[in-house]
A and B are shown apart, each in its own frame.
Chain A
C-alpha cells in the first residue's frame, strides 16, 4: 500500500530513527544500545539517559518479551483507526529491557493477559513503513 491510501498515523522517520525502521523492513527488531555503558533504549534518542554518552549502536534484539499492560480504545482519536475501534494497545516489555507500545496480532481481546509471552511479527503497512507487532509466543 502506498502512503497516500494508508490512513493511520505514520512514523516520523529521520536519520536518528531510521535504523529501527530499516530493521523492521528486514524483520529484525532493533533498539539502541549505548556504546559506553551498554544500556539499551527505545525509542531512539541522541543521548544515553543512563551515562549521557552520545556513542550508540543499533542492536538486533530477540523480539521476545511479555505484555506489561494494555488497554482497549473505544474511541478513535485518529481518523485512520475509526474502523478499528474497539482496538487493543499493549505495552510490551522486551526481554532486553526496553518497553514499547504496539498492537497484538491473533490474540482475542478477552485472552490478553498481563505477563503473557509474546514475540515480534512484522506488518508492512506501506512501501516505506513496516510496523513491529506482537503475537503470542507459545
Chain B
C-alpha cells in the first residue's frame, strides 16, 4: 500500500554568506566577541511552515505557488532528500523523481555506460539495469549512437537519452517539477505517451507546476503554497476520461 503522510512538517535552513562559510572568520568573530569579524552572515530561510498532508494510492497532488514559495523544497522533502527540521514524514513505497534527469550523465561515457550509471544512481541493481537496457535503447531511438560518448550528441539526443532512462522504471511515488517534454515532433508524441504510461502506473503523483491547466488536467487535488505555508487546499474533479482514452489508444 503506497502511502505518504506529512505531519506538521517545517523546514528551516541556513544560507551561509561568505563570512560564515569561512572557519577563520567564524573563529575570529567568536574569539573577539564579534568585534573584528563582522556579523556572521547566516540567513535562516523558513522554506516550509507546518505542512500536513496525507496522500494515498491513486492520489494526484498538484502544487502551485509563486517562485520561492517552497514548491521545490516540498518536493524534496517528499522525496526524502531534505529532512524536516520539525515534524515527521511517513512514507511507504518507492519514490523517484523526474526533476533532474541529467544528473549523473557523464559526457565522456557512452550512451550505454550512461544508462548503467544513471540506473545505479536511481537505486537500481546492475542486473535489473541490464534487463531493461534493450528497451531503453529501443525507445531512445539512438541506435548505434549509444556506443559512442554522449559528448558527441546534440542537445536533443542527450535529452532523449536522459528521458528514456528516467522513465524506464515504474515507482510507487512519482515526483515531477513541471511537465517533461523533449525532442522533435515525432519523439515528442512518443515521449508524451511514455510519460502518460509512467504516470498512470504510479501510485501517487506529486506535480509542481505554474500552469493551472496542467494541474486541472492531471490532478485530483491541488494545494497552493505561499511563503512556505499551504494557503489553499482543494479537491479537483475526476481526471477527464477522454484524456485517459487518448493515452491508451
B is a partner of A: no
Task: Name A residues whose Cβ lies closer than 8 Å to a Cβ of B.
Answer: none
